Amino acid sequence: MTTEANSATDNPMVFAGEREIVSGGNFHGAPVTMAADLAAIALAQLATISERRTEVPSLDDDRPPAPDIDTITRLIASGVLEESCRVAVK
């Protein structure tokens, strides 16, 4: 995967200064990026399912929620979910 991600996708590569033509065999990088995009979308969906299983307190009340560890954890989970969904569709 690292080799594919760091490879040049144009074939052949022409180096005019060295008067050299190199065929790396790396024809197209799209399959790797498509797999990575699908994995990001799948992880965002999994995060959505996990976050929905937690009860996030309502912030519509006049008073703030009690600062206990469960409330903090649920609010962090909501923020992480929002960010992962934003990154997945970027």
* Residue listed under structure tokens 């970027």: 90
The string of pLDDT tens digits covering residues 6-46 is 666 656 778 888 888 877 665 677 788 888 888 888 888 88
More confident residue, 69 or 7: 69
Q: pTM of the entire structure?
A: 0.49
Rounded Cα distance between 2 and 65, Å, is 45
Residue 68 falls in which region: left (phi positive, over 0), alpha (psi -120 to 50) or beta: beta
pLDDT score at 5: 65
Rounded Cα distance between 46 and 64, Å, is 29
Domain boundaries, the chain: 2-88
pLDDT score at 34: 87
What is residue 22's three-state secondary structure? strand
